[in-house]
Structures are given as C-alpha cells and as structure tokens.
Structure 1
Amino acid sequence: MEEIEEFAASEMLDLLQVRLTATRQRCGLLGFKALKTLVYSEDDSTGTSP
C-alpha cells in the first residue's frame, strides 16, 4: 500500500510510454485516479452498507 501511496501521476504517464496531449492526460490517468481513490477511501468496517 505504501508503494501505491507514493506512486505519482508522472510515473504513471511514464509507464504508458505514449506522449499524450494535456487533454488526453486526463484520460490516461483515469485508472490511476481510481486506484488512488480506492487506496485513500475510508474503510467501511461498520458493516452497515446496504
């Protein structure tokens, strides 16, 4: 988890190995943002979700 928390958007763009325009960078980083959201989301340990 610590490795994911320290992973930067610029590193993700480097892994894509494709030059993206500023607009397409948002598309290229969509998975990265989803992963970061998952990592930083609160853990629902109460068990009250539907």
Structure 2
Amino acid sequence: MLGSIPLPAAETVELVVVFALVTVVLLLLIPFVGRMVGYLFTAIAVVYLFRRVTDV
C-alpha cells in the first residue's frame, strides 16, 4: 500500500540525498566493475528506499 504517503520534509530530503549518492556511486562503479555490481547496488538502493518509505 504505497499510494501517496505524506512524508516529512526532512525525510524526503534524506531520501533524495541517498538516491543521489547511490546514483553517483553507480555511475562511478559500472564502467570499472561491471553491470552485475551495478544491478546489485540498484537492488540494495531500491530495497532501502522501499523500506524507508513503508516504515512510516
């Protein structure tokens, strides 16, 4: 039940920052380590963000 969950401003900013950091790490890692590690980091990021959003 995601729907439209009202998040506090600080929570939203934190999620955006985490997502941005993960994106930068992915962009740096993918060319050197390969796509599998990129997929792994993406999966971890998605799970983390999902848990953060649904843990309200």
- TM-score range relative to shorter protein: 0.3 to 0.5
TM-score (norm 2): 0.42
TM-score (norm 1): 0.44
**Higher relative contact order, chain-length normalized (CA < 8 Å, sep 6+):** 1
The higher radius of gyration belongs to 1
